[in-house]
Amino acid sequence: MEKGNFMKRATKLFATAAAVALGTAGMASAQTLDKVKKQGTLSCGVNVGLAGFSAPDDKGNWTGLDVDYCRAIAAAVLGDATKVRFVPTTAKERFTALQSGEIDVLNRNTTWTLGRDSSLGLSFVGTNYYDGQGLMVKKSLGVKSATELGGATVCVQTGTTTELNLADYFRLNKLEYKPVVFEKADEILQAYQAGRCDVYTTDASGLYAQRLQMQQPDEHIVLPEIISKEPLGPSVRQGDSQWFTIVRWVHFALLNAEEAGITKANVDQMTNSTNPDIRRILGKEGEFGKGIGLSADWAYQAIKQVGNYGEIFEKNVGSGSRINIARGQNSLWTKGGLQYAPPIR
Amino acid sequence: MTSTTADLRPPRSEVGVVGWLRKNLFSSPMNAILTVIGIWIIWTVVNAVAHWAFANATWDGTSGKDCTWPGAGACWPFIKAKFSQFMYGRYPEPQRWRVDLTYVLAIIGLVPLMIPRIPGKLFNTIYMLVFFPIAAFLLLVGGYFGLPYVPTELWGGLLVTLVVASVGIAGAFPLGILLALGRRSRMPIVRWVSVGFIEIVRGVPLITVLFMASVMLPLFLPEGMTIDKLMRALIMVALFSAAYLAEVIRGGLQAIPRGQFEAADALGLTYAQKMGLIVLPQALKLVIPGIVNTFIGLFKDTSLVLIIGIFDLLGIVQLNQTDANWFSPSTGMTGYVFAGLVFWIFCFGMSRYSLFIERRLAESDKR
Amino acid sequence: MTATTNRQGPGPLVPPAKPSLLYRPEFRQAVYQILLVVGLVAGFWAIAHNVSENLARQNIASGFGFWNRTSGFDISQSLITYNNQSTYGQAFWAGLFNTLLVAALGVVFATLLGFIIGIGRLSSNWLIARLCGAYVETLRNLPLLLQLFFWYFAVLKNLPGPRQSIVLPAGATLNVRGLYIPAPVPEQGFNAVLIAFAMGIVASIGVYMWARRRQLATGERFPVLWTTLALILLLPGAVYIALGQPLGWEYPVLRGFNFQGGIPIQPELMALVVGLSTYTASFIAEIVRAGIAGVPRGQREAANALGLSSGLTMRLVVIPQALRIIIPPLTSQYLNLAKNSSLAVAIGYPDFVSVFTGTVLNQTGQAVEVILLTMLVFLTISLITSAFMNWFNKHIALVER
């Protein structure tokens, strides 16, 4: 089984190379779900390296919130969370990768905006992390608020909403600044630490994650101001409503699981639960899986193999990780947060 | 009379060490000043390098802290710790023998091919053109004969540098020859198309071509069809170098005397026979130095793939600069010096080889 | 298809003496070319079709409508007026001018350095020749990107912060944020100095032409260099002093986070110019060396025999002839430099590729349009440079008698 799969992949590589060389066009359009099932793997676009969201270790094992979302989708669709091919994408190529079908779902701490929903051919399925843009400075500068940053030099990543928010914020507050723009996060990190910039700005979660990469994390503070809304979430190609529904409901299932108290550890006991909510989530009641083109235990597989939303959060960015970000806005609505999932029924 | 003059010994200032010094270093006041400046430059550079790389270098340690002390030079433990990553990227550790085996196969093919004295060039060429690419593909990508599949996202380091450069040049070769022939063709449309392709490609920077590979090429393909990112980059690099190679080969074609063409025509050979048996073998032999130089340029340019998120040797070095564990003032410099050394050894070696072939050709011309 | 129908034999209109249509070169060439055209058109059509289908199916924006939309982002250095309220079109020009600036600076420095090193390699001084050789062999065998990273991340990044700046002579300041040099501020009457300067240049040209004519007619030489230098420097200098030095200097001062005032030169720009020019200089040096070595020995010996000094031999005999060999490859090095300036994207300098192919592409998501425009811009730069250098080459080419 394993071997045949690899054979298939390699032959496909050959075939595609040959097809390009010969200039032949072909292959009928395939629905994403069929394609994923046929290939037996989910191609998931992730960040090339952002601790907490998606980062590979030296041996190529990926970890992070976005990475676990990829795994959960794979578990729900294919029944196996390991059947993911992680495709690292830069900020520039992430949308093309999705548009062209190179990846099936983009889980790359990407901000949901109207512009992206309307003119880039994407459909965001939801928000797996409510974020906002923050500003980080060296403690030694003595800055306490963003309004004191007039005349500062700011390091920012190109092609992000961050770059635009930054311009808006400083213009609105009538402050001068100098942007220094880089393509990759690790270059910004180097430049900021060397003192090329006074301020490093990106999503607040990113700032906390990047701070861990610094030589002396304690010497840097994130200013209290959050200057934008950055709802980060998975997105899929427009025009494939079946696939859109699947990815969206995997997200909701993870949230509902947390709400219902189903965890990675107790999910097997929970299958015996009499609570109809839990029974519906785990596919013991109703035919919801079939309705979206999956097996009945789709949500069970995702929770069993990856965990519920809370577990994923705590493990990667929350108290279980070095980044240690409080749940805050990302708590469930029942606990005063923004994470609210429609019911499975 | 003549014999007495011959017996006179030349003045001491004109021969031996002193004479050499006078002639080559102190022939005029200006030269003397230049010599002193030169000695000063050499002293400064050698002194700085020796201190940085040896005397003040850190040799043992487990993290950047060991390399952080006042006046610290190179941080060699960083290289030691990251060495396997620099070589293989994230290629799975138990599978790395496959990369090594590929290198061995390449050396087995290349060394006899590069030494002119060793016979059996035809067999050797077939090995390199047919057997080796297939073997390398099977070994590196895997998926056959029980070898686990290794997706190209895991490749990195020197492996990617070598793969991009060699596939680039190998892929560029057939197209380069066609373009060179096309540019000299009597058929106007063929000529225009060749000239157009060559000039357009040579007019744009490689980085735009790579951007094209990463964000535009996927949209060119019909729905549902995708190509691996590394593969896309390889295709574009090959197309890019084909244009440069075509110009080199054209130079070779131009150097072939008309008589060779006419003789082939007189024998009644077809165009393909004329080119394949008479002209190209001579032309390609003439331009081996040019081809090697193109390859050197391509080898250096492979580092650009890091901009589109493929981690070649330089990309991996750059990525590891941000490893918090290895943060120290000299980590960056150490990484770049290491990468530079590897690149330099390859490029300098190839340029020497190209010189060697050039001299050989020049000698065979003299006869 | 035409070929197969004709395989039966010559048609009625073809005289039997001629070979069959299939074997006639003109016919074959026509078929090949038609096939090529058909293939190309089909290829391009397939690509265009796929692209438009892909874009339309997913409702992706296309066209150049973005050109006049507000960009919303800032650029750290711009030679034209630009802020985040400007349009994408203005961002295009801002980036393009930044690229041209780097290319121009790079060409000047690379040429200077390249000629010095190239001539140095042929020096009779053994040590200098070896040193120049070592320079060439080191720099041209290292990837340019590596050298840029080295200059930017390893060298410039180790400069002190703004508050511990290195103070340079003449009021300049160097720190990790860049080099700040005093900016000249023209005051009342400075125009007169400029006019004097212009007059000096015009007069110098006149002197040069007169001296040349006189030399051709009488053979007498006139110290043109000294006269023109005096005209260009002393004349405006005298006016400047006479008018009471009507030029103020604005010195950079530390205010808030950064130095304000003066002319700031970004470290990105410095790293890029240094990296590009030292790298390209190693290639230019080789070209210069080959060019000078390509001048026949006899020319040099003849000049020596005429009693010309080694400096004059170089200037009047060797260099003019060497230039004929040097100019064509030098042109391609200039083009390479312009193309290589696109590596700015890796070290954060806002050049054309970084601003347009980077930020604008990312913000609009219109990859196809942006990349095509980028290629068009570089092609135009290439064509203009080649055209100019061809003209220049023709101009200086020696007339063979």
Of A95, A120, A179, the CB nearest to C74: A179
Whole domain around residue B195: which residue ranges?
Answer: 151-366
Residue A134: strand, helix, or coil: strand
Q: How far is B74 from chain C (nearest CA, A)?
A: 12
Q: How far is A47 from chain C (nearest CA, A)?
A: 15
Task: Tell me the per-residue pLDDT of C81-102, one tens digit each, with 9 for 90 and over.
Answer: 888 888 999 999 999 999 999 9
Length of chain A, in residues? 345
Tell me the chain B residues in contact with residue C32 when contact means C-beta distances shorter than 8 Å: 187, 190
| Yes or no, beta carbons of B321 and C153 under 8 Å apart | yes
Of B35, B314, B348, the CB nearest to C146: B314
* CATH code of the domain in which C361 resides: 1.10.3720.10
Q: Is residue C133 part of a domain?
A: yes
Task: Tell me the per-residue pLDDT of C339-366, one tens digit each, with 9 for 90 and over.
Answer: 999 999 888 899 999 899 888 888 888 8
| Yes or no, beta carbons of A238 and C58 under 8 Å apart | yes
pLDDT at residue A20 tops 50: no
| Yes or no, beta carbons of B224 and A212 under 8 Å apart | no
Indicate if C33 and C124 belong to the same structural domain: no
**Nearest in space to B67 (alpha carbons), one of B79, B75, B55, B59:** B75
Structure tokens given for C64: 């150049």
| Yes or no, beta carbons of C141 and B344 under 8 Å apart | yes
Which of A2, A5, A13, A89 is most worth mutating to test chain B (most B CB atoms within 10 A of its CB)?
Answer: A13
Tell me the chain A residues in contact with residue C158 when contact means C-beta distances shorter than 8 Å: 194
What's the predicted TM-score (pTM) here?
A: 0.85
**Per-domain boundaries in chain A:** 30-130+232-335, 133-228
Q: How far is B147 from chain C (nearest CA, A)?
A: 34
Chains touching chain A through at least 3 C-beta pairs below 8 angstroms are B, C
Separation of alpha carbons A275 and A278, rounded Å? 5
pLDDT at residue A22 tops 60: no
Indicate if C336 and C288 belong to the same structural domain: yes
Q: Is residue C322 part of a domain?
A: yes
- The size of the A-B interface in CB pairs under 8 A is 116
Separation of alpha carbons B316 and B85, rounded Å? 7
Chain B residue with Cα closest to C376: B204
Separation of alpha carbons A125 and A248, rounded Å? 5
Q: How far is A114 from chain C (nearest CA, A)?
A: 13
Tell me the chain C residues in contact with residue A195 when contact means C-beta distances shorter than 8 Å: 157, 161, 176-177
Whole domain around residue C41: which residue ranges?
Answer: 2-11+19-50
Tell me the chain B residues in contact with residue C137 when contact means C-beta distances shorter than 8 Å: 348, 351
Confidence of residue C173 (pLDDT cuts 50, 70, 90): confident
Indicate if C281 and C150 belong to the same structural domain: yes
CATH class of domain segment(s) A30-130+232-335: alpha beta
Q: What pLDDT does residue C401 have?
A: 47
pLDDT at residue A307 tops 50: yes
| Yes or no, beta carbons of B225 and A215 under 8 Å apart | no
| Yes or no, beta carbons of B85 and A58 under 8 Å apart | yes
Q: Is residue C193 part of a domain?
A: no
**H helix intervals, C252-293:** 267-293
Residue B347: strand, helix, or coil: helix
Of C33, C125, C145, the CB nearest to B190: C33
Q: What pLDDT does residue C260 have?
A: 79
Chains touching chain C through at least 3 C-beta pairs below 8 angstroms are A, B
Task: Tell me the per-residue pLDDT of C125-147, one tens digit each, with 9 for 90 and over.
Answer: 888 899 999 999 999 999 999 99
Cα distances (Å, whole numbers) of residue C398 to C111, C298, C303, C325: 22, 17, 17, 11
Which of C34, C142, C349 is most worth mutating to test chain B (most B CB atoms within 10 A of its CB)?
Answer: C142
| Average pLDDT rounded to a whole number, residues A32-39 | 90
Which amino acid appears at position C219 of this protein? G
> Is the separation of the CB atoms in B254 and B279 below 8 Å?
no
Confidence of residue A23 (pLDDT cuts 50, 70, 90): very low
pLDDT at residue A38 tops 80: yes
φ/ψ of residue C154, rounded to 5: -100, -35
- ipTM for the predicted complex comes to 0.87
Q: What pLDDT does residue B12 have?
A: 67
Q: Is residue C246 part of a domain?
A: no
Q: What pLDDT does residue C158 have?
A: 78
pLDDT, mean over chain A: 85
Window C:177-206, CB contacts with A under 8 Å: 177
Task: Tell me the per-residue pLDDT of B88-134, one tens digit each, with 9 for 90 and over.
Answer: 888 888 888 888 998 988 888 888 888 878 887 788 888 888 888 88
Chain A residue with Cα closest to B85: A58
Confidence of residue C254 (pLDDT cuts 50, 70, 90): confident
Q: Is residue C191 part of a domain?
A: no
φ/ψ of residue A86, rounded to 5: -85, 125
Task: Tell me the per-residue pLDDT of A152-174, one tens digit each, with 9 for 90 and over.
Answer: 899 998 877 888 899 999 999 99
**Nearest in space to C193 (alpha carbons), one of C159, C241, C151, C227:** C241
Confidence of residue A19 (pLDDT cuts 50, 70, 90): very low
Indicate if C274 and C392 belong to the same structural domain: yes
Q: What pLDDT does residue C13 have?
A: 56
Residues 6 or more apart whose Cβ sits within 8 Å of residue C288: C114, C115, C117, C118, C119, C322, C326
Separation of alpha carbons A232 and A160, rounded Å? 12
| Yes or no, beta carbons of C358 and A237 under 8 Å apart | no
pLDDT at residue A312 tops 50: yes
Residues 6 or more apart whose Cβ sits within 8 Å of residue B28: none
Using a CB–CB cutoff of 8 Å, tell me whether A169 touches chain C.
no
Indicate if C43 and C94 belong to the same structural domain: no
Q: Is residue C63 part of a domain?
A: no
Structure tokens given for C82: 């630009």
Tell me the chain C residues in contact with residue A25 when contact means C-beta distances shorter than 8 Å: 46, 50
> Is the separation of the CB atoms in A125 and A252 below 8 Å?
no
Q: What pLDDT does residue A74 have?
A: 95
> Is the separation of the CB atoms in B321 and B333 below 8 Å?
no
Task: Tell me the per-residue pLDDT of A218-237, one tens digit each, with 9 for 90 and over.
Answer: 889 999 889 999 999 999 98
Number of domains in chain B: 1
Q: How far is A99 from chain C (nearest CA, A)?
A: 7
Of A5, A96, A213, the CB nearest to B215: A96
Give kind and range of the element (H or E) at residue B364.
Answer: helix B331-366
Q: Is residue C136 part of a domain?
A: yes
Gyration radius of chain A's alpha carbons = 21
Chain A residue with Cα closest to B311: A48
Give kind and range of the element (H or E) at residue C362.
Answer: helix C361-364
Tell me the chain B residues in contact with residue A102 when contact means C-beta distances shorter than 8 Å: 218, 226, 229
Using a CB–CB cutoff of 8 Å, tell me whether C380 touches chain A.
no
Query: CB neighbours (10 Å) of residue A119?
Result: 17
Pick the range with the lowest mean pLDDT from A101-105, B141-145, B350-354, C10-14.
C10-14
Q: Is residue B17 part of a domain?
A: no
Cβ burial, residue C44 (10 Å; 0-12/13-18/19+): exposed
Tell me the chain C residues in contact with residue B343 when contact means C-beta distances shorter than 8 Å: 141-143, 146
Window A:94-153, CB contacts with B under 8 Å: 96-97, 99-102
pLDDT, mean over chain B: 85
pLDDT at residue A27 tops 90: no
Using a CB–CB cutoff of 8 Å, tell me whether A113 touches chain C.
no
Q: What pLDDT does residue A210 have?
A: 86
Q: What pLDDT does residue B114 have?
A: 81
Tell me the chain B residues in contact with residue C142 when contact means C-beta distances shorter than 8 Å: 300, 340, 343-344, 347
| Yes or no, beta carbons of A189 and B85 under 8 Å apart | no
> Is the separation of the CB atoms in C327 and C319 below 8 Å?
no
Q: What pLDDT does residue C11 have?
A: 52
Which of A96, A108, A111, A119 is most worth mutating to test chain C (most C CB atoms within 10 A of its CB)?
Answer: A119
Q: Residue B289, by phi and psi: left (phi above 0), alpha (psi -120 to 50) or beta?
A: alpha
Using a CB–CB cutoff of 8 Å, tell me whether C261 touches chain A.
no
Q: What pLDDT does residue C231 have?
A: 82
Of C131, C142, C157, the CB nearest to B340: C142
Q: Is residue C81 part of a domain?
A: no
Q: How far is B354 from chain A (nearest CA, A)?
A: 31
Chain B residue with Cα closest to A209: B324
CATH 3.40.190.10 fits domain A133-228: yes
pLDDT at residue B10 tops 80: no
Which amino acid appears at position B248 of this protein? V
Cα distances (Å, whole numbers) of residue C362 to A54, A168, B156, C354, C366: 21, 17, 26, 11, 8
pLDDT, mean over chain C: 84
Tell me the chain B residues in contact with residue C138 when contact means C-beta distances shorter than 8 Å: 344
* CATH code of the domain in which B232 resides: 1.10.3720.10
| Yes or no, beta carbons of B153 and A88 under 8 Å apart | yes
Confidence of residue A26 (pLDDT cuts 50, 70, 90): very low
Separation of alpha carbons A67 and A52, rounded Å? 9
Confidence of residue A77 (pLDDT cuts 50, 70, 90): very high
Q: Where are the beta strands (DSSP E) in C286-337?
A: none
Number of domains in chain C: 2
Task: Tell me the per-residue pLDDT of C14-60, one tens digit each, with 9 for 90 and over.
Answer: 555 666 777 777 788 888 889 999 999 999 998 888 888 878 877 77
Q: How far is B197 from chain C (nearest CA, A)?
A: 12
If one compares A304 and B324, the residue with the highest pLDDT of the two is A304
| Yes or no, beta carbons of C61 and A194 under 8 Å apart | no
| Yes or no, beta carbons of A121 and C55 under 8 Å apart | yes
